[in-house]
Structure 1
Amino acid sequence: MSFDRVREPVWIDDPSLDAAEFQRVRIDELRLNQVTRVADALYPLITRYQTSAAGRPLTVLDVSSGNGDLAVRWAVKAARDRRDIRITTVDTNRHAIEEQQRLAKRSAVEVRSVQWDCFQSPLPHGFDVVISTMLMHRLDDSQAFRLLQSMQISCQRAMIVCDFKRSRLNCALVNVASRLLVRSAVCRHDAVARIHSSFSEPEIARIARSALGRPVSIRPLLPCHYVLVADEAVQTEMVPAFA
């Protein structure tokens, strides 16, 4: 059972948050991502497009990538599997970009990190796969619509969206997990706020079909996420459905 969407600001976006507290939040978020194994679940969705890029690296753009733990995990798994995958991350936060590079260095992999505001500038083009994780819940309908269109223009093969799914069960699960697994009050608040702010599956599917002008597939991703994929090579006319 779901409930009405209520967009709540996340405390990590507070510009007065100092670098030390930001780092504590990111460590807690990394722990939560490790427990939910989101990176491992998304990895095969990305690598299945490797054959489409035969003879050259598979290029991946990770939009609003936070501390980069998912992107670095994909790079580590690709190196272990001897897959030639080039990952670029974009995020607006300077602290996040710095943390991405520290994490990549510790993991002995290469990830290109770029400070980039995807709402002030179009996403860079030419990537095989463009993926967004844990971002849509921060956006209103029109912002989600525009981002999905920008992702479609940027990708050559597929776009993937993964985020929290709003439901009473997920809200309860996240509330308990955040109290057991994290230390930062900022992270505990933000974990629950993100569920309240998230789209339901029907809501994000409706926005995606309107923005992209083509079918999308969407399914649950345990424990409390959904994943949306659009990978049909369909030429579409972008219609500004939101003023």
Structure 2
Amino acid sequence: MAPSLRHRAVELAELMDDPSCDQRALERTYARFGIVNGLVSGWRRLYRERIRPLAPEIGRGGEPLTILDIGFGGGDVPVTLARWAARDHVDVRITAIDPDDRAFAFATARAAPDTVSFRRATSSDLVAAGERFDVVLSNHVLHHLDAPALAAVLADSERLARRLAVHNDIERGRLAYTGYQIGITPLAPGSFLRTDGLRSVRRSYTLVELADAVPVGWRVERQSPFRLLALFDGPRSVDGDRS
């Protein structure tokens, strides 16, 4: 019997979040994230419609577009964004952070453009260091967070983002659950993709729930029938000032 999706299943933990989980299964999961995200996460559209258009505005000062990815996991999102930017002749510098040693080890062992830098850090570490970025983003992070952690990440994002913060996540619903359950079958063997993906759907927000959870100044939009964006527009300064 299919589980109820009426409420967030916040009690569920994903297998890959267990520090003692099977290392080989974890690495297979990381390695296949790129395929999964390419199929369901919609980053190509986000890059084309929300990130790339910022480059000419910022580029007038001769400076690169700076991007922060919070919770990089397997590292596929920042690598993919960097490759799209290079193809479009957009000068970017991408910093990707994750506090998990296992994620850091996997991401730093993969091939990546020299415009991508992986760091073991949290968003609060970067706030404390006074760092700023033109764009702050995350992929499939929000549903992992309890209420205080969600509030902290969004508050950090406001402090870190000069122009835009965009957190991209699943929208809980029957379409997302059933579609993923069927579609992940060819990729799942030997990994955590099936179990953790279905638990992710069950832990995720609906549009109304996420809209209620974000603070004033944020907005929530549905990008597709099973994708939500939490968005924050940073203050736009004049005359190219990025301070």
The answer to whether residue 19 in structure 2 is matched with residue 15 in structure 1 is yes
- Structure 1 residues 47-85: Cα deviation after superposition (integer angstroms, max 9, x where no partner): 222133122101000000111101100000111111001
Q: Give the alignment's TM-score, normalised by structure 1.
A: 0.85
Alignment of 1:5-84 (within 5 A): 5-7=8-10, 8-36=12-40, 38-44=42-48, 45-54=50-59, 55-84=62-91
201 and 155 in structure 1: CA distance in 2 versus 1, 3 angstrom threshold: same
In 1, the alpha carbon distance for the partners of 2:162 and 2:124 equals 20
In 2, the alpha carbon distance for the partners of 1:162 and 1:52 equals 23
In 1, the alpha carbon distance for the partners of 2:45 and 2:126 equals 30
Give 2:198's aligned amino acid: V
Partner of 1:162: 168
- Structure 1 residues 67-124: Cα deviation after superposition (integer angstroms, max 9, x where no partner): 110110000011111100100000012222232233344xx44310100134677475
In 2, the alpha carbon distance for the partners of 1:24 and 1:224 equals 25
Give the ranges of 4+ consecutive aligned residues of structure 1 lying more than 6 Å apart after TM superposition: none
In 2, the alpha carbon distance for the partners of 1:214 and 1:37 equals 24
138 and 224 in structure 1: CA distance in 2 versus 1, 3 angstrom threshold: same
Q: Secondary structure at the match of 1:6?
A: coil
Q: Do the aligned residues in 1 keep the contact of 2:142 with 2:150 (CA within 8 Å)?
A: yes
Alignment of 1:105-184 (within 5 A): 105=112, 108-118=113-123, 122=127, 125-184=131-190
188 and 15 in structure 1: CA distance in 2 versus 1, 3 angstrom threshold: same
The answer to whether residue 197 in structure 2 is matched with residue 191 in structure 1 is yes
Partner of 2:221: 219
Give 2:75's aligned amino acid: G
Q: Secondary structure at the match of 1:229?
A: strand
In 1, the alpha carbon distance for the partners of 2:38 and 2:217 equals 33
- Structure 1 residues 171-219: Cα deviation after superposition (integer angstroms, max 9, x where no partner): 11111122233213522100000000001111112222x2xx3252x32
In 2, the alpha carbon distance for the partners of 1:53 and 1:143 equals 31
49 and 120 in structure 1: CA distance in 2 versus 1, 3 angstrom threshold: closer
The answer to whether residue 22 in structure 2 is matched with residue 4 in structure 1 is no
CA shift for structure 1 position 27: 2.1
In 2, the alpha carbon distance for the partners of 1:205 and 1:22 equals 32
Q: Do the aligned residues in 2 keep the contact of 1:11 with 1:190 (CA within 8 Å)?
A: yes
Specify every segment of 5 or more residues in structure 1 that has no aligned partner in the other structure, as ranges: 235-243
Q: Secondary structure at the match of 1:76?
A: helix
119 and 83 in structure 1: CA distance in 2 versus 1, 3 angstrom threshold: closer
47 and 6 in structure 1: CA distance in 2 versus 1, 3 angstrom threshold: same
180 and 121 in structure 1: CA distance in 2 versus 1, 3 angstrom threshold: same
137 and 37 in structure 1: CA distance in 2 versus 1, 3 angstrom threshold: closer
Give 2:95's aligned amino acid: T
In 2, the alpha carbon distance for the partners of 1:131 and 1:204 equals 16
In 1, the alpha carbon distance for the partners of 2:209 and 2:128 equals 24
Q: CA RMSD in A?
A: 2.2
In 2, the alpha carbon distance for the partners of 1:63 and 1:94 equals 14
